[in-house]
A and B are shown apart, each in its own frame.
Chain A
Amino acid sequence: MNIYVLVKRTFDTEEKLVVSGGQIQEDGAEFIINPYDEYAIEEAITVRDAHGGEVTVVTIGDEEAEKQLRTALAMGADKAVLINTEDDVEEMDQFTAAYILAEYLKDKEADLILAGNVAIDGGSGQVGPRVADLLDINYVTTITSLEIEGETVKIVRDIEGDAEELETSLPLLVTAQQGLNEPRYPSLPGIMKAKKKPLEELELDDLDIDEEDVEAKTETIEVYLPPKKQAGRILEGEIPSQVSELVSLLRSEAKVI
């Protein structure tokens, strides 16, 4: 089975955000594999181990993203591809990302493509379904279980808390939801092996993509932090009197009840 995983390097959102000059400052911040993409990598490895084949992890980014690709290789992926857009792309949005990924994938005859259901930084959840549409293959989002039996793929997906059971077939793109599996940690031998696994670096030229073809459709005008919340009020006194004070505050001051 020919398996591809779309992996995004993201800012660890446990980090404190600093905005200056209308941009998030990335200097010195920790970067991780988008947590949902870790589920996707784990699932890809499991499927390969059960059905044979090869897992290739693909990311669009700059040289820094090599680190996340090596981590994926250390988890057990076979090959990695970095599509380095640093010199070619000034502005990027979900259209751009999906277009580049689809151009890379279009002649790969992938049986299964896995992505995260959403990136915890950009947070749109668009890239997976957009790639599937461009490749004209079916997709299923927010999956929590995947079983491949011959031609049939049995999936459970999360729909706002309910579990939808469905059947479809390959080729297919799925996006991973929490609950799909427990991603493994890279083992020490895994980390050693990863150093020797192939990591290919491509640029837009190698994919025959013109810069104009991937021009972003949307434009970010401003990035800002939410206004600082005023310090809240810790009520005082006996519990019953605190409770009645709270109820009257919610009714008269906050006016939410």
Chain B
Amino acid sequence: MRRSVGDLDRRGRAWYVDKAVAGLVFIGGISAIVFIIGIFVFITREGWTFVFGTLDFGEFFTSIEWRPTSENDPTYGALALIAGTASVTGLAMLVAVPFSLGAAIFIAEFATGRTREALKVLVELLAAIPSVVWGFIGLAIMNPLIIDLFDVPIGLGVLNSGIILGLMAAPIMTTIAEDALKAVPDGYREAAEAMGATKWQVIRQVVLPAGKNGLMAAVLLGVGRGFGETMAVLMASGHSINLPTSPFDSVRALTATIAAELGDAPRGMEHYQALFTLGIFLFIVTFCINLAADIAVRGVRKG
């Protein structure tokens, strides 16, 4: 009898281990959610009083006058910053979408064996380059190049930062797009090939339409990445407040503004709160983009 009691004991220990691991995993999972909510609460709390007090929404969205440090009449027009971020991200997508979709199609549909593995590793290495290095490339290589090529006085602006950001976002977009193409069942390709479709016809008429949700998600995550990127844009955009009218104009991004000014803004003052308001705005926009990407992946049909 004692023996069997001992056996029961041992089972009990395994049970506790099981419960403990389950608990840890649960805490791990839940803490991700808690952190996100915590960050949102923190940002909102800092910007809160400003958003519902001093802030003039009309001014925020329509004025280009971002003069938070003005002695007697500070203004908080974020239009130029929004336009800066949007123009840089837009150009970045013009660069990144063809690059990353092309690379994804090549890796998923054409490359085989060694080439394929090598390319995948390469893309992952590219994705791991820190953004400050990209910013440095923008400053040290792209800047003189643009000045020489286009004969403009300064090479820091929409063009420079757009290209840098595009190259930066392309690897992760490639990886996600490639996953989306790989997820298209091979039976579709086989069926189309058996009907006499060429490789390219199979890709264009079957694989891309079948994988379009995942491809959409890849593009949206790239856009989100572009919106949120700070360091590279700060270095390559010229960081001057402008409504850009040409690709060579210097602009300033929302993120770069926060990064550059937060250190000098006295805590709790209007300027400080205004920067948090930019943060809330960014948070909401990227949240919406990621949500859209998520919905795209799930393939919720519109209309």
A and B bind? no
Q: Which B residues lie at the A interface, using CB under 8 A?
A: none
Q: Which A residues lie at the B interface, using CB under 8 A?
A: none
